[in-house]
């Protein structure tokens, strides 16, 4: 575990750079968990023996430490999501004109579309390839600046500064991916080359674009983190490191009194309803099969839904509630919403405040303006499927859903300390 808050933030940058797609985020968490002694288990395996386990499914992951605790030991679950808004490649993407090759994309999630313009883009994702045993999955990525969506020049769009930028997702967002004639199958051929396989063997792909500029600390005193996908890789990173801190000891007996669980879900940005999303059965089924969910003590059990939170924007303070200012580097933020778009209630908030006090971590509180709709996260779905007391919280950030987001550099480590204390029980 990194020793200072700056080191923690630099490690977060490494995690983000390793994770251009949800599949890569799971891969990076698995790499870290395996180095700490965790072992893969398949959903069809029998009940696990005591040990450190992880179950991987596409862009989702559930990991836990089974120290053979009695049913009296409560569950402590950390949930976060691996996906971020971006541009995803269509199944038959190749087109072009004027000697330029382009690929067709769909917008994934609530992306700030303007932030994808005039950026050097790389590509990543997974391929499913035919082989002798049936099929094999390959993760692929190319971090070279191989694609670009140039903005229309202001001389050809005179009203853009007064009336705002209007982007049609079908006609204005196709990245330019090269020069020459657009041949059918050209994009699949380029993916096949990344995996070093025959293009004819590629059965299907999930591919998406990413900003190739590495994440970094920014500000004259490294006060900030500037990175893609902070929502919600910041929480995936903190959750992974917290589970390793609690469960990665030499002796498995040294974990705290609770049963610690990490759940990283896909598809939060498009509503969580999928086999690997928080509204799907993955967590509930895994907890029932391997962690004795139904037999566990309810009192003391707790689920934390950890996701990015809006910091108060200095240029738009009127968009925020006046009594709930949320500061960068002010500590993790409890999220409240009367309509249960966030799952936090008074008992959950109270429990987390006591955990934070013990861990000497300051907490802030977020609530939306009453005349503005509120986003949601995986908390309500997790609460509904597991029945556990659930709290929504996260680190404050600006520019949420931009291709490049912004947060304080001291908050991620504070979140890590808080999650570690919560998992220990
Ligand atoms: Zn999020």
Tens-digit pLDDT profile for residues 302-344: 999 999 999 999 999 999 998 999 999 999 999 999 888 898 9
Reading the block at residue 58, the tokens are 């596409």
pLDDT tens for 264-300 read 999 999 999 899 999 899 999 999 999 888 888 888 8
pTM over 0.85: yes
Ligand 1: centre distance to CA 96 (Å)? 34
pLDDT, position 304: 96
Q: Tell me how far the alpha carbon of residue 268 lies from the centroid of ligand 1, in angstroms.
A: 7
Q: Which of 208, 210, 205 is nearest to 192 (CA)?
A: 205
d(C-alpha 209, C-alpha 148), whole Å: 10
Question: Residue 323 has which token pair?
Answer: 């009594």
Cα(402) to centroid of ligand 1, in Å? Answer: 12
Instruction: Quickly name the fold that domain 86-211 has.
Output: Aminopeptidase i, Domain 2 (2.30.250)
- The set of residues, in sequence order, having a beta carbon less than 8 Å from that of 377 and lying 6+ positions away, is 81, 268, 305, 307, 335, 341, 342, 392, 394
In the sheet that 302-306 helps form, which strands lie side by side, from edge to edge?
39-40, 51-57, 60-66, 259-265, 75-81, 302-306, 390-394, 333-335, 364-366
Distance 382 CA to ligand 1 centre (A): 14
SS percent in the chain: helix, strand, coil, step 5: 30, 30, 40
CA of 218 from ligand 1 middle (Å) equals 22
Ligand 1 centroid – CA 46 distance (Å): 33
Q: How confident is the model at residue 8 (pLDDT cuts 50, 70, 90)?
A: very high
Residue 262 Cα to ligand 1 middle (Å)? 16
Measure 306 CA to ligand 1 centroid, in angstroms.
8
Domain ranges of the chain: 5-84+228-424, 86-211
Which class in CATH covers the domain with range 5-84+228-424?
alpha beta
Ligand 1 geometric centre to CA of 215 (Å): 18
Residues ≥6 apart with Cβ < 8 Å to 214: 13, 17
In DSSP terms, 79 is beta-bridged to: 263, 305
User: How much distance in Å is there from the Cα of 255 to the middle of ligand 1?
Assistant: 29
CA of 267 to the centre of ligand 1 (A): 10
- Judged against a pLDDT cut of 80, whether residue 47 lies above it is answered with no
């Amino acid at each position: 575990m990194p020793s200072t808050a700056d080191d923690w933030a630099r490690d977060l940058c490494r995690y983000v750079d390793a994770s251009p797609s949800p599949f890569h985020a799971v891969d990076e968490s698995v790499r870290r968990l395996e180095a700490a002694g965790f072992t893969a288990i398949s959903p069809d395996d029998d009940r696990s023996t005591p040990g450190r386990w992880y179950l991987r499914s596409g862009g989702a992951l559930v990991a836990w430490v089974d120290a053979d605790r009695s049913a009296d030991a409560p569950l402590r679950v950390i949930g976060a999501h691996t996906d971020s808004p971006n541009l995803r490649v269509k199944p038959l993407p190749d087109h072009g004109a004027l000697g330029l090759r382009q690929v067709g994309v769909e917008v994934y999630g609530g992306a700030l579309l303007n932030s994808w313009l005039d950026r050097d883009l790389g590509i990543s994702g997974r391929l499913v390839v035919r082989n002798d045993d049936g099929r094999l999955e390959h993760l692929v990525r190319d971090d070279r600046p191989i694609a670009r969506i140039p903005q229309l020049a202001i001389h050809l769009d005179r009203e853009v500064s007064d009336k705002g930028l209007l982007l049609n997702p079908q006609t204005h967002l196709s990245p330019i991916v090269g020069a020459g004639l657009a041949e059918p199958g050209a994009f699949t051929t380029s993916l096949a080359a990344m995996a070093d396989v025959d293009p004819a063997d590629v059965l299907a792909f999930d591919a998406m674009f990413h900003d190739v500029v590495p994440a970094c600390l920014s500000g004259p005193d490294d006060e900030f983190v500037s990175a893609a996908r902070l929502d919600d890789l910041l929480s995936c990173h903190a959750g992974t490191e917290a589970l390793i801190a609690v469960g990665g000891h030499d002796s498995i007996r040294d974990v705290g009194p609770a049963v610690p669980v990490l759940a990283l879900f896909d598809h939060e940005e498009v509503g969580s309803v999928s086999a690997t999303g928080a509204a799907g059965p993955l967590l509930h089924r895994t907890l029932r099969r391997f962690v004795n969910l139904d037999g566990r003590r309810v009192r003391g059990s707790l689920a934390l839904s950890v996701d990015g939170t809006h910091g108060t924007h200095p240029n738009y303070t009127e968009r925020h509630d006046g009594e709930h200012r949320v500061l960068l580097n002010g500590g993790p933020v409890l999220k409240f919403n009367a309509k249960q778009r966030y799952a936090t209630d008074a008992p959950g908030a109270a429990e987390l405040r006591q955990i934070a006090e013990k861990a000497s971590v300051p907490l802030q509180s977020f609530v939306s303006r009453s005349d503005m709709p509120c986003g949601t996260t995986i908390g309500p779905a997790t609460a509904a499927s597991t029945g556990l007391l659930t709290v929504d919280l996260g680190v404050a950030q600006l520019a949420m859903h931009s291709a490049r987001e912004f947060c304080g550099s001291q908050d991620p480590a504070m979140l890590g300390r808080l999650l570690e204390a919560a998992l220990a029980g």
